[in-house]
């Protein structure tokens, strides 16, 4: 049985050389974000942004929901992959960090596809379900506060269509999920979601050992 290849710095550099297609605008946003407090830790890897764009295309998504905007790198990647009349609803608790990405969205010509919702995500998701109805999104990307991951997942399952895809970031959470001594609310929230997903017959499931763990759940 083959085992997971260890991702050394040299191997990651090689992967980026032969696979990553990050352009100047994305690179500028990533570098701008890296200068912010905890910016590098909180931002998705460039490879993950590229994967998200690919998944938007593979699912023929026209409506995408993002729970957790931060500075909008993943938002930009997914919005670019949408058709011109597509919609990406992105939710964040505060407008401080999303404001960093707004200019980049405009420069990319995709700001008209992005509906930024500021406020508690629980309330935003309830509003979206009431206004748009069940099954109204093709793809959901969850990358927000980890303690509420199970709640966000359940809400996303109601909002995504049959055959649609839920993508969850940080499902390995810096390796803390495998450390019994790690009992903080964020680690506990990720562990709880991983257990729920493993037993959930409503979805097809794969946890990718990439970046900080990326789980794909396709609604049956």
DSSP sequence for 52-70 = HHHHHHHTT-SEEEEE--T
Give the start-to-end residue ranges of the domains of the chain: 9-219
Please tell me the pTM assigned to this model: 0.96
**39 falls in which pLDDT band (50, 70, 90)?**
confident
Q: Hey, CA dihedral for 122, 128, 134, 140, is it positive or negative?
A: negative
Distance CA 207, CA 210 (A): 9
Q: What is the pLDDT of residues 80-118, one digit of tens each?
A: 999 999 999 999 999 999 999 999 999 999 999 999 999
CATH of domain 9-219: 3.40.50.150
Q: Are 144 and 153 in contact (CB under 8 A)?
A: no
């Amino acid at each position: 049985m083959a085992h997971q290849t260890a991702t050394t710095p040299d191997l990651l550099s090689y992967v980026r050389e032969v696979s990553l297609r990050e352009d100047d605008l994305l690179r500028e946003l990533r570098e701008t974000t890296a200068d912010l407090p905890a910016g590098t830790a909180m931002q998705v890897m460039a490879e993950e942004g590229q994967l998200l764009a690919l998944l938007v295309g593979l699912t023929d998504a026209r409506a995408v929901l993002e729970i957790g905007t931060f500075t909008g790198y993943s938002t930009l990647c997914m919005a670019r992959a949408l058709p011109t009349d597509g919609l990406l609803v992105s939710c964040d608790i505060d407008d401080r960090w999303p404001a960093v990405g707004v200019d980049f969205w405009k420069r990319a010509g995709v700001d008209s596809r992005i509906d930024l919702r500021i406020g508690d995500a629980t309330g935003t998701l309830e509003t979206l379900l009431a206004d748009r109805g069940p099954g109204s999104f093709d793809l959901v990307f969850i990358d927000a506060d980890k303690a509420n991951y199970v709640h966000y997942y359940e809400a996303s399952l109601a909002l995504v269509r049959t055959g649609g895809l839920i993508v969850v970031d940080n499902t390995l959470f810096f390796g803390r999920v495998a450390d019994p001594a790690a009992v903080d609310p964020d680690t506990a929230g990720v562990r709880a979601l991983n257990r729920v997903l493993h037993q959930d017959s409503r979805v097809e499931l794969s946890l990718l050992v990439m970046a900080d763990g990326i789980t794909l759940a396709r609604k049956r």
